[in-house]
Amino acid sequence: MKRREFIAIAGGVAAWPLAVRAQQSARLRRIGLLRVSTEDDARGKDHLAGLRDGLARFGWVEGSTIHCDYRYAGGHLDQFSVLAKELIALHPEVIFAQSTPVAAALQRETRTIPIVFVEVSDPIGSGFIAGLAHPGGNLTGIIQYEAGIAGKWLAMLKEIAPNLARVALLANPKGTAHEYFLGNATAAASALGIEIISSPVDNVADIERSISSLARQDNGGLLCPPETFITVHRDLVIALAAKYRLPAVYAWRYFVTDGGLMSYGIDLVDVYQQSASYIDQILRGANPADLPVQSPTKYETALNLKTAKALGFSVPTSLLVRADEVIEWRREFITLLGSMAAWPHGR
């Protein structure tokens, strides 16, 4: 073999790993994700882990078959439009959108890139889709709640506070959650002997004013439907409910683990796993306009006994037995078991 040929072959061999890596990188399918929370939010990490698990079942593994571009608003609602523009400039093949305002910001920027949404209560009213069975545009996903769930929330409040007379529905009027749930809550409230108070809030002062106003009358309670503004300011809502000793029901379990009284809502990890099927189908050529919007498949009830005790409420057994998670239950249960074990020795 001539020296020139040997050098050419050696050069080709040396370049081969780089060429292979370039080909592998070119084969990675690109996904964009726009999140409300911060990157280090523990719950957000759990939800994204659910999405990754779901994608892996279809053969989509980050760094191997897909590349993911993440953008986090860090709770700053005014950043959605900026971050949406950044993501779309990267030309992803599909974008995963968390919440109604995030999906709205993305829709304003593109009518062609497929968008898969979660944590959206009213996709039709928000203008994202034409219908559940046939979305008709570039958005599809999993609906968060049907409006009728408001009756379930009110029934829970009445169960833990039998003298409940009025409930303030707290939500940002700039979104769709307030109007979407208000009508159904009002209809359900009449059968329970409850008055629904519309409490639109879009700043911290509104939250403080609405809750303090409710507290001036006896037998009041709070209903906080799933809504980004309330989620961002949940620590304040929970603190004010505690300050005024008001029973409150929330849509998310993490409100309860953060100190809220009780919640009934969807299992978000399960929803994120479920949503992976949309991304899979779109990456394989499906049109989001033809992919029906689905409903969640798993719901959960959470109670915080420590909070109930601090507020002066006794949790009925009927509510306890339905709970999937009871905060502070294990400690009290162990104490009870210890007392029971001591009974024979005390006789």
Q: Which residues pair with 67 in a beta bridge?
A: 30
Give mean pLDDT, residues 235-246. Answer: 97
What letter represents residue 32's amino acid? G
Q: pLDDT per residue over 194-210, tens digit each?
A: 999 999 999 999 999 99
Q: Which two tokens stand for residue 312?
A: 């002066």
| DSSP string covering 82-103 | HHHHHHHHT--SEEEEESHHHH
What is the reported pLDDT for 7?
Answer: 46
Q: pLDDT per residue over 83-127, tens digit each?
A: 999 999 999 999 999 999 999 999 999 999 999 999 998 999 999
The count of other CB atoms within 10 Å of the CB of residue 293 is 22
* Residues with Cβ within 8 Å of residue 156, at least 6 apart in sequence: 249, 262, 264, 319
What's the burial of 70, exposed, middle or buried (CB within 10 Å: 0-12/13-18/19+)? middle
CA atoms within 13 A on the CB side of 265: 24
Per-residue pLDDT band at 192 (split at 50, 70, 90): very high
Name the segment(s) of the chain with CATH classification 3.40.50.2300. Answer: 3-145+268-290, 149-267+299-332
Closest residue by Cα to residue 161 from 193, 208, 185, 199: 193
* Options 3.40.50.2300, 3.40.50.300, 3.65.10.10, 3.10.180.10; CATH of 149-267+299-332: 3.40.50.2300
C-beta separation of 212 from 227 below 8 A? no
Separation in Å, CA 280 to CA 60, 127, 285, 341 = 8, 24, 9, 54
Fold type of domain 3-145+268-290? Rossmann fold (3.40.50)
HEC-encoded secondary structure of 15-77: HHHHHHHHHHHHHCEEEEEEECCCCCCHHHHHHHHHHHHHHHHCCCCECCCEEEEEEECCCCH
Please give the span between the terminal C-alpha atoms of the chain, in angstroms, as a whole number.
100
C-beta separation of 88 from 107 below 8 A? no
* Residues with Cβ within 8 Å of residue 227, at least 6 apart in sequence: 171, 172, 175, 177, 178
Least confident of 174-188, 261-275, 284-298: 174-188
State the Cα torsion 41-87-293-179 to the nearest 10°. 70
The structure's pTM equals 0.80
Q: Which two tokens stand for residue 333?
A: 């249960």
The count of other CB atoms within 10 Å of the CB of residue 88 is 17
Give mean pLDDT, residues 214-227. Answer: 95
Whether 330 has a pLDDT exceeding 70, the answer reads no
C-beta separation of 95 from 114 below 8 A? yes
H/E stretch holding 274: helix 268-283
